[in-house]
Amino acid sequence: MTRNRTAALVAAVAAAATALAGCTSSGGGGGGNAPAAAGDELKAGVFLDVTSWDPANADIGFDGPYLSAVYDPLVALDKDGKPVPALASSWEWSADRLTLTAKLRTGVTFEDGQKFDATAAVANIQHLKAGVRSGQAYLNVADAAAKDPETLEIRLSKRDDALLYQMGLGRSWMASPAAITAGSLATDPVGSGPYKYDKGASAPQSQYVFSKKTDHWDAGTYPFPSVKLFPITDQTASFNAMLSGQLNLQFANAANLAKAKESGWNISQKAASWVGVQFADRTGAQVKALGDQRVRQAISYAFDSAGILKAVGNDSGTVTNQVFSVDGQVYDKSMNDKYKTDMAKAKQLLSDAGYPDGFSVKMPMSPIFAAWQPAANQTFGELGIKVEWQDMAMPDYQKNAPTYPMFLAVIALAGNDMATLTDQVTTAQWYNPNPAVDAFPEIKALVDQVEKAEPGQPQTDLLKQLNTKLVDQAWWAPWYQANNTYFSVKGITVTPVTGMMFPTLRFIQRG
């Protein structure tokens, strides 16, 4: 999904900003100021501009705070990534889990006066299913129908235990059906959300201003009478704005943690993306060596993950060889030592696989991955793997990386373990172009069992078995899971949610 592009961008910019951050930190002065207090206005620095106000074309990554101001979702998430009611007040699955029946909230109207009901919800689901960016969440949705004005029925062509999570993550914002038909949502959002977008006071790509609707059905969840969102890609500029009091919340660079503590700010962190080597050619179709499990394991053993996390990732994250979120139920801390750095063992494995002198491989390189390139170069070099780096800009990287047998990756984590299975293992994505699950019978058998299992503990237990098998196969070679960091002044708290690069407004509270 496109949020992985933003994950990559975030991680790379964070790494690159470290040096600049040093300038501002040592510049001093800011720390001497009394900690700023939260006023009535939330002023948040959000790293990236809104991709589109049309929920079908919006990105999950950083669009959450913008879209959550003007739209209500059908389903929301709690802090642990569990789907909770929003415009859908309750729901239930059919026995075969192919039909989702949702009861809808009544008395909700869109800003253009149109009523929210099941017909409006159906129009939205159809719009989202057809969406360029949102469509991926609805791949298994066959159709949607209004059973009655308060009841929505979504029918699936294939069971999808991650659907509600994806909807809650940012794929079920409800817009006025009239605006959908008019095709005007991209620039003129019409929703039923907790805030009204003040277009006159806003300057697109610079600042967005919202004022609270006091009669909103969930007004109690949103404590700030007004909200200003500032897209600030340069993290030094964002940090300076925090220090000067222009912001009271920012998407932060972990390199500034000491200064944030000194300033008395609230600090929130949570795992957001995994960083490491992605194998796109696990069957060895392009580079025969990568089809051998021992070669992939050798690469996993070779890297000094802790050193890379410290040097490039500001030590903000968890060294692990797993892509299931460290905060989830499937993640197994005890497996983290499986590929503890051991170059001798790596060379032995490579030799056992028939490559004592290594092999040659082409890998793509983009400026935003440059921070990790020296470590990768050194490690591959020691291992005898001769890498020919091919430079390209980031959009080309996304376009071309899937054609390479392996590449460096920063990939967004999911806050739901079934979504992790879909995103990272079974579904083709730009960062996972050849899932090739069928070529690995043991993996395939476990995936089938997981997908048929009863949701809850039985499914989680099977996912744990699958995770163990994937790590054993060196399905990927992650170095660490990187945290996202947020600074806020006293009086404002942020609850990060894995899967959202910047949490939606319901996770920003007073405190």
| Least distance from other proteins to the Cβ atom of residue 237, Å | 5
Name the residue nearer to other proteins (CB basis): 225 or 402: 402
* Cβ-proximal residues to 415 (8 Å cutoff; 6+ apart), any chain: 77, 80, 81, 165, 169, 325, 327, 328, 497, 498, 499, 500
Choose between 131 and 317: whose C-beta lies nearer to other proteins: 131
Q: Which are the contacts of 164, defined by CB distance < 8 A and separation ≥ 6?
A: 75, 83, 91, 100
- Bridge partners of residue 174, in order along the sequence: 72
- Per-residue x/- mask for other proteins, residues 51 to 70, rule CB under 8 A? -x------x-----------
DSSP, collapsed to helix, strand or coil, labels residue 329 as: coil
**Residue 264 binds other proteins, judged by CB under 8 A:** no
Single-letter amino acid, residue 94? S
24 near other proteins, rule: CB under 8 A: yes
20 interacts with other proteins by CB under 8 A = yes
Using CB under 8 A, pick the residue from 39, 85, 135, 307 that binds other proteins. Answer: 135
Single residue of 68, 124, 136, 504 touching other proteins by CB under 8 A: 136
By CB under 8 A, name the one of 13, 16, 30, 159 that touches other proteins.
30
List the interface residues with other proteins, window 400-419 (CB under 8 A): 402
Asked if residue 19 binds other proteins (CB under 8 A), the reply is: no
Where does this chain touch other proteins (CB under 8 A) — which range of 19-27, 285-293, 354-362, 369-377?
19-27
Closest separation in Å from C-beta 135 to other proteins: 7
How far is the C-alpha of 31 from the C-alpha of 240, rounded, in Å? 11
245 binds other proteins (CB under 8 A): yes
Q: Which residues contact 219 (CB under 8 A, 6 or more apart)?
A: 194, 212, 213
Nearer to other proteins, 172 or 320 (CB): 172
Question: Rounded to the nearest 10 degrees, how much is the dihedral formed by the CA atoms of 438, 441, 445, 450?
Answer: -60
- Residue 468, φ and ψ in degrees, nearest 5: -60, -45
Assigned token pair, 271: 């795992």
β-sheet with 99-104: strand ranges across = 88-93, 99-104, 151-156, 141-148
Nearer to other proteins, 204 or 455 (CB): 204
The answer for residues whose C-beta is within 8 angstroms of residue 155's C-beta and 6 or more apart is: 98, 99, 141, 142, 143, 144, 145
Interacting residues toward other proteins by CB under 8 A? 1-2, 5, 20, 23-24, 27-30, 32-33, 49, 52, 59, 132-133, 135-136, 186-187, 203-207, 230, 232-234, 236-238, 240-241, 243-246, 393-396, 398-399, 402, 429-430
